[in-house]
């Protein structure tokens, strides 16, 4: 409770934070399960548009936004793999689907803190970085998991093949992030200007320029 109170902005802030977190989690849920929104299947590639939303939540709520949104991203991908299925079956392992996304969110927040005051151009750096961190930590957890317990999907494929698939995905996701980041930042500014963003991250309380 004390930690959340560091994000104070008027009365009933704790309730506002919970409502805002619920809003973000609902967005991740919708984008995870509605086809061709959060996940796009292009030939053998399965790309995601969700890492950039972690940046959005981090700009909005700081550490709380980063952690909750990245967990929502990870848990959503795990449940999606369980319910809908996923060709490689990699996301059926919680360390690959959930832990990697949490580490991605923490990495985004770390860079966000180093940058200091919010600026428009910093969003343009964090958006592609979120994709990089997602790819990096998913790769780390995949190969770490396989080193301990062999992943069935690896049996008939070499590491080179997997790296080619993973980083081809990465290139496509970078392109998507570059397309989405400016509209999302403009949306953030519109929300802020019209008072729709009720919680301000007091760690970096100056308004984005």
Using one digit for the tens of pLDDT, what is the confidence trace for 151-199? 887 776 667 777 788 888 899 999 989 898 888 888 877 877 776 655 5
Name the residue range of residue 78's domain.
2-204
From CA 145, how far away is CA 91, in angstroms rounded? 12
In a domain, 209, yes or no: no
- pLDDT of 196: 60
Mean pLDDT of 121-139: 92
In a domain, 9, yes or no: yes
**Which of 62-66, 82-86, 98-102, 186-190 tops mean pLDDT?**
98-102
Please calculate the CA angle 42-46-52 and round it to the nearest 5 degrees: 110
In a domain, 157, yes or no: yes
In a domain, 51, yes or no: yes
- pLDDT of 200: 53
Q: Which residue has the higher pLDDT, 127 or 166?
A: 127
Phi-psi region of 116 (alpha: psi -120 to 50; beta: other; left: phi over 0): left
In a domain, 197, yes or no: yes
pLDDT at 46 over 70: yes
Q: How many domains does the chain have?
A: 1
Q: Which residue has the higher pLDDT, 142 or 118?
A: 142
**CATH code, domain carrying 83:** 1.10.1760.20
Q: Which residue has the higher pLDDT, 5 or 26?
A: 26
Q: What is the pTM of this model?
A: 0.84
- pLDDT of 204: 46
In a domain, 91, yes or no: yes
In a domain, 136, yes or no: yes
- Percentage, residues of the chain above pLDDT 90: 45
Least confident of 9-13, 89-93, 98-102: 9-13
For residues 134-163, one letter each, b for 16 or more C-beta atoms within 10 angstroms of the residue's C-beta and e for the rest, the string is: bbbbbbebbeebbeeeebeebeeeeeeebe
Cβ–Cβ < 8 Å for 19, 31: no
């Amino acid at each position: 409770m004390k930690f959340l109170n560091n994000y104070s902005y008027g009365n009933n802030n704790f309730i506002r934070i919970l409502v805002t977190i619920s809003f973000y989690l609902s967005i991740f849920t919708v984008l995870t399960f509605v086809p061709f929104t959060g996940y796009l299947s292009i030939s053998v590639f399965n790309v995601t548009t969700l890492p950039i939303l972690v940046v959005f939540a981090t700009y909005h709520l700081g550490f709380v936004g980063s952690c909750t949104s990245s967990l929502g991203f990870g848990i959503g991908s795990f449940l999606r793999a369980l319910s809908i299925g996923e060709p490689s079956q990699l996301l059926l392992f919680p360390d690959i689907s959930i832990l990697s996304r949490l580490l991605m969110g923490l990495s985004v927040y770390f860079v966000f803190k180093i940058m200091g005051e919010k600026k428009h151009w910093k969003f343009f750096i964090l958006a592609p970085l979120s994709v990089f961190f997602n790819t990096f930590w998913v790769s780390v957890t995949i190969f770490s998991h396989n080193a301990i317990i062999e992943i069935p999907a690896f049996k008939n494929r070499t590491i080179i093949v997997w790296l080619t698939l993973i980083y081809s995905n990465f290139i496509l996701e970078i392109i998507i992030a570059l397309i989405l980041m400016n509209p999302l930042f403009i949306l953030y500014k519109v929300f802020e200007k019209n008072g729709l963003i009720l919680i301000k991250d007091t760690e970096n309380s100056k308004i984005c320029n």
